[in-house]
Amino acid sequence: MVELTVDGQAVGAEKGKMLLPICLDAGFDIPHLCYNESVRPYGACRLCLVEVRKNGRGRMTTSCTYPVIEGIEVLTQTEKVLRARRLVIELILAMCPGDEEIQEMAREMGVEDVRFEKEEKDCILCGLCGRVCEEVVGANAIHFANKGSNREMIPPFAGEATDCIACGACVTVCPVNVIGMREESDERTIIRWKRTLKMKKCKVCGNYFAPWFQLEKFRQQAGLPTDFFDTCYSCRE
Amino acid sequence: MKRINSVEDLEREREKIRAARDPNKPCITICTGTGCHAAGCYPVAGALREALRTGGIEGEVDLRITGCHGFCERGPLVVINPQRILYQRVKPDDAPDIVSETLKKGKIIERLLYVHPLTEEKIVREDDVPFYKLQKRIIFGNNGNIDPTSIEDYLAIGGYSALAKALTSMEPQQIVEEVKKSGLRGRGGGGFHTGTKWESCRKASGDTRYVICNADEGDPGAYMDRSLLEGNPHSVLEGMIIGAFAIGSNEGYVYVRNEYPLAVENLRIALDRANDWGFFGKNILGSGFDFNVKINRGGGAFVCGESTALMASLEGQPGEPRAKHIHTVESGLYEKPTNLNNVETWANVPYIVNLGAEQYRQIGTDGSKGTKIFSLVGKVNNTGLVEVPMGITLREIVYDIGGGIIGGKRFKAIQTGGPSGGCLPESLLDLPVDFDRLTEAGSMMGSGGMIVMDENNCMVDVAKYFMNFLKEESCGKCASCREGTKRMYEVLHRITEGNGREGDIALLEDLSFVTAEASLCALGGTAPNPVLSTIRYFREEYEVHIKNKKCPAGVCKELITYRIIPNQCTICGRCQKVCPSQAIRGKIKMKKPFEILPEKCIRCGMCSEACKFDAIEIV
């Protein structure tokens, strides 16, 4: 355990844990878009900036990628931090002016309008969908392509995400809600990744409960018997 | 070649090589570096070989193909040894004369000599040419003496003696101390103390450690690492083996740009030969130390010169940086302690080990020791690679070594440190060049690019050029760099198009702040330098663009108009002939000065270039 201070308040934390979750748990309000506790720290959105001072020297850094050490002094609301966060959200808003979540965040930080040509993107390039798909689901169905402002999260060759199991984890973690999932009769579609899979019907209740492709993948990976997924999760003993 | 197993064997072999060579035997060295290659050195080499054959002195004269000598402006370069006569801008047709006059009769061919631009004196010896005379070529100088594909050439000039010394008479910790004491700082841009880095890596926990040579040189106009690898690859490899021994690493990588095919090839040849001789592999020189190096070719992303992105790329991941709160010396390649140094840094190591830190420290300033190789390009007379002691002034580099500005024009700025360096004005020409002074002035050492600009360069346009490069090369991972560089470019672009708005300078400063302060890696961290330094030193030029919609340097097309000065026009019609858009009105027989039609003019400047009477001005 190490001791640190956040805005003057003493906080205890496990050494090496990232600063952002520690601050959030301790009740400090730090904006963030690309952080999720289920995946490794990444540092893409740059909103969780804080100032960290140690041995008399201070620097601004993203708290999501900063492993805590003994005795640091963390400042979450300095003028420099707030200025940088306002500029970052202005840049993100100019990229995705239609995202309601971003508009709301910008308003809260005092940014009403942007000083740049507005683009018409919707994805903020936080990478959460791809990271969850890789690190948690293990499907690796989507990835970033290209560099600079041509960067985009896409399925292979921008076609159908043929490794996608339509689990919907990406849909859940997306902070701006732009991926989208649709279920119609016996089909589930992950809209952004152009992936439609047939659903399996539960032998007991008759409900469609999960895509065939997904269940078959799980069954093979875990070495389960062929009839293992004949019943849905709710109807199983 | 059978493996050498001891220092005694090495020295015996070295003596054999030296004994077989007569130092008085004439030797023609031909520079085949990037510049001379472009200028046609290979046909010259072929012609010389042929002339030696037909002249019947094939066996009496050695012909050596070398790497870059540095004086690219004057290529193809030929040096006749042992007299060290420099012939410049040599053409294949000159070969018979070189053989029949200089080699057979000992006569100097006047037309091929370098002429001092001020005194008009013809200079015979390479070392007397001001371009070379004022340099201190301790690292780069050997390029002109060796064939990079011959390990024997490298051994003959004392190659691998530093390795022998390090392996047999120094403890690893002692080598680290020596490098620390030398004051050597990273030549790739960061300027971090090399010895300190080695020590941290050496002390880091774990059994496996890696050393990496960063040869992903990507700055526009910079080619010193390329020229070192092409011209003297063994010096870099020798430095790496010594470093690996000091740090306790048995495995190394050279990450080299795939766009440098000759560097890759010469490095591969050098590595194979050094392997044959026993400088790599198991039990090097009988010391019990094992070390191997693999060559990895980069895929063409500028950001892969950043250490964490480079390591990600080596691992087969996309070349994107990660946060460096845990340093790469503790957790780098494959999460193992990793020491990464640039090509030039590694090449300094054998020199330091051989001569000792004390002697090395004599060169340079308090905070920056040794020499630095710069690629001096742009509007300067003597374009080329120059190696100078730290602390030399910009004026000495530009005027004494570089020979001043092309066409006697006025110096305006010098851009140092690559695309994310800064532009320094005339008032800073007497600034001593070292890591700290350049950073204080708002620029940086970077990897050593130096671009000289004259009165015809628009500083807003220059900032826009570099920002375009940076926005294209930003990996796009973090929002502040990806969006910040894009938006800075957007604002700079509209200023140069005449659509600048009041407040744009403040907006650029805001964007610079967020890009520099909030970005993940050094690419974003330094990206605003071209903007901030030009605003700092050339603010007026920005204001004229924004408020008066004019480009004082006459570069930004939307802000200039070409005009024919009536009483200077001789009615020759040349401008009309070259104009691609039929924008010039007039007839020779009408005997009236010609006129440019602004609505048709595309501001290409062809007329102005064609006019022999300076009758076309930019307003």
Tens of pLDDT, residue by residue over B15-59, are 999 999 998 999 999 999 989 999 999 999 999 999 999 999 999
- Residues of chain B in contact with residue A95, where contact means CB-CB under 8 angstroms, are 483
B114, β-bridge pairs: B123
Q: Which two tokens stand for residue A59?
A: 């620097």
The percent of residues above 90 in pLDDT, for chain B, comes to 92
Whether A96 and A163 share a structural domain: no
Look-up: residue for tokens 């790496």? B240
Under an 8 A CB cutoff, do A43 and B301 touch? no
By CA distance, what is B504's nearest residue in A?
Answer: A115
pLDDT of residue B462: 96
Confidence tier at B343 by pLDDT (50, 70, 90) = very high
Residue A207 lies in a domain: no
Burial of B439 (0-12, 13-18, 19+ CB in 10 A): middle
Q: Which two tokens stand for residue A155?
A: 């399925």
pLDDT of residue A78: 96
d(C-alpha B388, C-alpha B274), whole Å: 30
- Residues of chain A in contact with residue B518, where contact means CB-CB under 8 angstroms, are 46, 49, 60, 62, 84, 87-88
By CA distance, what is B483's nearest residue in A?
Answer: A91
Among B412, B248, B390, which residue's Cα sits nearest to residue B398? B412
pLDDT, tens digit, 9 for 90 and up, residues B244-264: 999 999 999 999 999 999 999
Under an 8 A CB cutoff, do B480 and A88 touch? yes
Which of B323, B490, B507 has the CB atom closest to A43's CB atom?
A: B323
Q: Sheet with A195-201: list strands edge to edge.
A: A181-184, A187-190, A195-201, A208-211
How large is the angle between the packed helices B529-543 and B479-496, nearest 10 degrees?
20
Q: Are A222 and A214 in contact (CB under 8 A)?
A: no
Cα distances (angstroms) measured from residue B195 to each of B165, B176, B202, B327: 18, 6, 10, 15
Under an 8 A CB cutoff, do A87 and B518 touch? yes
Asked if the C-beta of B526 comes within 8 angstroms of chain A's C-beta atoms, the answer is no
Residue A21 lies in a domain: yes
Chain A residues in contact with chain B using a Cβ-Cβ cutoff of 8 Å: 41, 43-46, 49, 60-62, 65-67, 80, 83-84, 87-88, 91-92, 94-95, 115-117, 124-125, 127, 144, 146-151
- Residues of chain B in contact with residue A144, where contact means CB-CB under 8 angstroms, are 318, 476
Domain B459-548 has CATH 3.40.50.2000: no
Q: Which two tokens stand for residue B253?
A: 């990588």
Asked if the C-beta of B511 comes within 8 angstroms of chain A's C-beta atoms, the answer is yes
pLDDT, tens digit, 9 for 90 and up, residues B278-304: 999 999 999 999 999 999 999 889 999
Count CB neighbours of B329 within 10 A: 22
Q: Are B220 and B419 in contact (CB under 8 A)?
A: yes
Count CB neighbours of B110 within 10 A: 9
Q: Where are the domains of chain B?
A: 21-129, 151-361, 371-454, 459-548, 561-618
Residue A225 lies in a domain: no
Where would I find the H helices in chain A? 19-25, 79-95, 100-108, 128-132, 169-173, 212-222
By CA distance, what is A88's nearest residue in B?
Answer: B480
Confidence tier at B189 by pLDDT (50, 70, 90) = confident
Whether A92 and A48 share a structural domain: yes
> Mean pLDDT, to the nearest integer, of B130-144?
95
Q: Are B75 and B35 in contact (CB under 8 A)?
A: yes
pLDDT of residue B118: 79
Q: Which two tokens stand for residue A158?
A: 């921008």
pLDDT of residue B322: 92
pLDDT of residue B324: 86
Q: How many pairs of residues across A and B have Cβ atoms under 8 Å apart?
A: 100
CA atoms within a 13 Å half-sphere pointing along the CA-CB vector of B132? 20
Q: Are strands B62-66 and B85-87 parallel, antiparallel or unpaired?
A: unpaired
Among B405, B363, B398, which residue's Cα sits nearest to residue B139? B363
Whether A26 and A73 share a structural domain: yes
Q: Which of A39, A46, A69, A109 to mutate: most B Cβ within 10 Å?
A: A46
d(C-alpha A34, C-alpha A42), whole Å: 7
In angstroms, the separation between the Cα of residue A66 and the nearest Cα of chain B is 6
Which of B476, B480, B511 has the CB atom closest to A148's CB atom?
A: B476
pLDDT at B1 over 80: no
**Number of domains present in the structure of chain A:** 2
Asked if the C-beta of B187 comes within 8 angstroms of chain A's C-beta atoms, the answer is no
d(C-alpha A131, C-alpha A35), whole Å: 11
Whether A93 and A13 share a structural domain: yes
Phi/psi of residue B20, each to 5°?
-75, -5
Confidence tier at B424 by pLDDT (50, 70, 90) = very high
Under an 8 A CB cutoff, do A66 and B490 touch? no
The percent of residues above 70 in pLDDT, for chain B, comes to 100
pLDDT, tens digit, 9 for 90 and up, residues B440-470: 998 999 889 999 999 999 999 999 999 999 9
Q: Which of B487, B492, B499 to mutate: most A Cβ within 10 Å?
A: B487
d(C-alpha A34, C-alpha B609), whole Å: 54
Where would I find the H helices in B130-284? 130-133, 151-156, 161-169, 172-182, 194-203, 224-231, 233-247, 261-277
Among B359, B534, B360, which residue's Cα sits nearest to residue B458? B534
Residue A214 lies in a domain: no
Q: Write out residues in chain A with pLDDT < 70, as ranges.
A: none
| Structural domain for A17, as ranges | 2-108
Look-up: residue for tokens 């999501």? A64
Q: Are strands B422-425 and B411-416 parallel, antiparallel or unpaired?
A: antiparallel
CA atoms within a 13 Å half-sphere pointing along the CA-CB vector of B337? 20
Among B335, B241, B252, which residue's Cα sits nearest to residue B296? B252
Q: To which H or E segment does residue A143 belong?
A: strand A143-145
CATH of segment(s) B371-454: 3.10.20.600
d(C-alpha B241, C-alpha B346), whole Å: 9
DSSP assignment string, B272-320: HHHHHHTSSBSSGGGSS--BEEEEEEE-S-GGGGSHHHHHHHHTTS-S-
Question: Last residue of some domain: A164, A183, A198?
Answer: A198
Pick the CATH number of B151-361 from 3.40.50.620, 3.40.190.10, 3.40.50.300, 3.40.50.11540: 3.40.50.11540
pLDDT of residue B512: 98
Residue A205 lies in a domain: no
B251, β-bridge pairs: B210, B292
Q: Which two tokens stand for residue B360?
A: 């090395």
pLDDT, tens digit, 9 for 90 and up, residues B514-547: 999 999 999 999 999 999 999 999 999 999 999 9
By CA distance, what is A19's nearest residue in B?
Answer: B325
Residue A149 lies in a domain: yes
Q: Which of B480, B492, B519 to mutate: most A Cβ within 10 Å?
A: B480
Whether A63 and A160 share a structural domain: no
Which of A41, A124, A149 has the CB atom closest to B486's CB atom?
A: A149
Under an 8 A CB cutoff, do B476 and A144 touch? yes
Whether A77 and A170 share a structural domain: no
pLDDT, tens digit, 9 for 90 and up, residues B8-25: 999 999 999 999 999 899
Whether A53 and A14 share a structural domain: yes
pLDDT of residue B420: 87
Quote the mean pLDDT of chain B: 95
Q: What CATH number did the domain enclosing A142 receive?
A: 3.30.70
Q: Which of B477, B510, B512 to mutate: most A Cβ within 10 Å?
A: B477
Question: Last residue of some domain: A108, A136, A155?
Answer: A108
pLDDT of residue B447: 85
- First-to-last alpha carbon distance for chain A, in angstroms, is 43
pLDDT of residue B126: 95
Residue A235 lies in a domain: no
Among B312, B216, B305, which residue's Cα sits nearest to residue B264? B216
- Residues of chain B in contact with residue A60, where contact means CB-CB under 8 angstroms, are 517-518
pLDDT of residue A16: 86
Highest CATH level, class, for B561-618: alpha beta
Which of B486, B514, B520 has the CB atom closest to A87's CB atom?
A: B514
pLDDT of residue B202: 96
What lies within 8 Å, CB to CB, of B190 at 6+ separation is B522
Q: Are strands B371-378 and B449-454 parallel, antiparallel or unpaired?
A: parallel
Which residues in chain B (311-350) have CB-CB distances under 8 A to chain A? 318, 322-323, 325-326
Burial of B340 (0-12, 13-18, 19+ CB in 10 A): buried
- Residues of chain A in contact with residue B484, where contact means CB-CB under 8 angstroms, are 91
Confidence tier at B434 by pLDDT (50, 70, 90) = very high
Confidence tier at B325 by pLDDT (50, 70, 90) = confident
pLDDT, tens digit, 9 for 90 and up, residues B222-243: 899 999 999 999 999 999 999 9
A66, β-bridge pairs: none
Among B249, B318, B250, B585, which residue's Cα sits nearest to residue B476? B318
Q: What CATH number did the domain enclosing A15 receive?
A: 3.10.20.740
Q: Are B426 and B411 in contact (CB under 8 A)?
A: yes
pLDDT, tens digit, 9 for 90 and up, residues B162-183: 999 999 999 999 999 999 999 9
Under an 8 A CB cutoff, do B476 and A147 touch? yes
Highest CATH level, class, for B21-129: alpha beta
In angstroms, the separation between the Cα of residue B588 and the nearest Cα of chain A is 49
Under an 8 A CB cutoff, do A44 and B518 touch? no
